A and B are shown apart, each in its own frame.
Chain A
């Protein structure tokens, strides 16, 4: 057994730095590269792509990433775990295999994890009494069933561990949890049992810390932010884990950013709910037990983590069509920038009323005055400029479309000193909303196959 296993993060979301995976495998020694591509609404975007072309539906950036790291995977035995499979893990594996095939003597063994996709089973599941009620509102899924685009259970570390045991050097999953991508390699290497609650929880905490990429190594860090060096060359994080469940968060030498107790603390509280119960399919981790200590420059030692048995449910992410929205903006300049923008807002609302347009929601923000901090921002009546930001949302596409024609006229027929309209008319966007639900673990059966 290895004494230390190094898992590096190379992607915090689909759209993150394209070069980070390569920099992670070339910048120093690592054993595993984990790549997280899936945010809450990503699955529905991928589902739409698969509807148009059955060979799509996965994070295509991953194929480019694999190309850039192929030498490391084949020659230095770095293993890759990624949830890039989206709603089509097999197609993703095929695309990666053809990248590997370009290299002679390629020994890619691709583990494909499926079984998270519940879309085809949805009606059966509902007929069997699984209400898939919205965790926030309690509403049953039947109320939006005809508008559902995708439905995926968040699956845990088991199938990834199984793929690694089966000799895979690349594991591609669909909607596995972000944290499992880090925890599974540690479980595989250290042989942690399914009831080693503290170690499993430690693996989850390690995953939580690095799953947002550089957000734990100096990116988006408020603490002493001006002193954080060389963000242009920010080092993505990695963990050096031990079998006892302790680990060090660090980054490669010669990279920018910072790994310190404050940078890691900020990431630990990111998107946190009840810290006593960070619920995953494998274990419930208690974030109030985490101990952090600086362990040299750009090294933070994490220890003390406690876990307890998981629940008998899995979270399900359902995406459904939820109407249309559009947001228009105009910029008003000093003097009385805010008053001008407020006048424009009143005029616009009156015109929309006169047109008889009905929306579920109309929201006005004055960027530069109140958009992010509301009334807490205090008096901004002398602002050099204020952006009027006007959004509408509703089920009637035509009404939203009509709204988008009402912004530009204000430039000539509204309050003065207005600019910033060069982007043209606002775009109408179809809203794909997120419906979180729970389902019995027993009905979701992840499958693993190995393609070589």
Chain B
């Protein structure tokens, strides 16, 4: 079943130099495992291909039902150097929530995940 992250998670993003971070938090604690399993580092790197210049790192925070992604080279130099509207990476959060993941039907049903409308 196709699941859109926006329907199972919320997020906030910020900056450190030319790196944007996106923290993605499951809307329900039991959905955290879905994030951990399907929102992988390489999946996120593919998602942002063409938008960021560097690597992606992923960290897990099961205590907050959250994943933290570092998107390197995401801010056109970052800070005051950047010419981007989103020079401080404030809305990479919702850009990540556009991602659609494919969860096996049985698991999606068991967890009552909302399907993409």
Instruction: Please report A residues at the B interface, Cβ cutoff 8 Å.
Output: 40-41, 135-136, 220, 222-223, 262, 265-276, 287-292, 304, 322, 325, 327, 361, 363, 365, 367, 371-376, 389, 391-393, 431-434, 436
Contacts and interface: CB of A to CB of B under 8 A. Distances in A.
Given A274-B59, A363-B76, A292 B64 contact: yes
B39 to A, nearest CB: 14
Contacts of A289: 63
A267 B83 contact: no
Given A265-B25, A269-B68, A270-B14, A373 B94 contact: yes
Given A41-B79, A136-B18, A222-B11, A276 B59 contact: yes
Nearest to B79: A434
Decide if the interface of chain A is mainly helix, strand, loop or mixed. Answer: mixed
Contact of B59 (A223, A262, A265, A275): A275
Contacts of A389: 85
Contact of A392 (B61, B79, B83, B86): B83
Contacts of A373: 91, 94-95, 98
B75 to A, nearest CB: 11
A206 to B, nearest CB: 16
A40 B91 contact: no
Contact of B25 (A266, A291, A325, A392): A266
B116 interface: no
Contacts of B68: 269, 272, 275
Interface residues of B, number: 42
Interface centre among B11, B13, B25, B98 (most CB of A within 10 A): B25
A42 to B, nearest CB: 11
A136 B86 CA distance: 20
Contacts of A325: 81, 83
Nearest to B50: A375
B23 A365 contact: no
30 contacts: A136-B19, A222-B11, A223-B10, A262-B10, A265-B25, A265-B64, A266-B10, A266-B12, A266-B25, A268-B64, A269-B11, A269-B12, A269-B64, A271-B15, A273-B16, A275-B59, A287-B64, A327-B83, A361-B76, A363-B84, A371-B84, A372-B94, A373-B91, A373-B94, A374-B50, A375-B50, A391-B83, A392-B83, A433-B80, A434-B79
Interface centre among B19, B60, B79 (most CB of A within 10 A): B79
B70 interface: yes
Interface of B: 10-19, 21, 23, 25, 27, 47, 50-51, 59-66, 68, 70, 76-81, 83-86, 91, 93-95, 98
Given A222-B11, A365-B85, A372-B91, A271 B21 contact: yes
A390 to B, nearest CB: 9
B85 A372 contact: yes
Nearest to A271: B14
B23 A272 contact: yes
Contact of B23 (A135, A269, A367, A374): A269
Contacts of B60: 288
Nearest to B93: A222
A324 to B, nearest CB: 11
B84 A436 contact: no
A273 B95 contact: no
A376 B80 contact: no
Given A269-B66, A376-B98, A222 B12 contact: yes
Nearest to A287: B61
A322 B94 CA distance: 31
Given A136-B17, A269-B23, A41 B12 contact: no
Interface centre among B51, B60, B81 (most CB of A within 10 A): B81
Given A270-B13, A290-B64, 8 more contacts: A136-B19, A269-B23, A270-B12, A271-B14, A363-B83, A365-B84, A389-B85, A393-B83
Nearest to B49: A375
Contacts of A291: 63
B14 A262 contact: no
A375 B25 CA distance: 24
Interface centre among B15, B27, B83, B94 (most CB of A within 10 A): B83
Nearest to B98: A376
A270 B63 contact: no
Given A327-B83, A392-B83, A436-B17, A267 B12 contact: yes
Nearest to A264: B64
Contact of A433 (B47, B81, B85): B81
A270 B10 CA distance: 12
Nearest to A40: B79
B35 to A, nearest CB: 13
A288 B47 CA distance: 26
A111 B33 CA distance: 49
A372 B15 contact: no
Nearest to B66: A269
B36 to A, nearest CB: 13
A262 B25 contact: yes
Contacts of A265: 23, 25, 64-66
B12 A376 contact: no
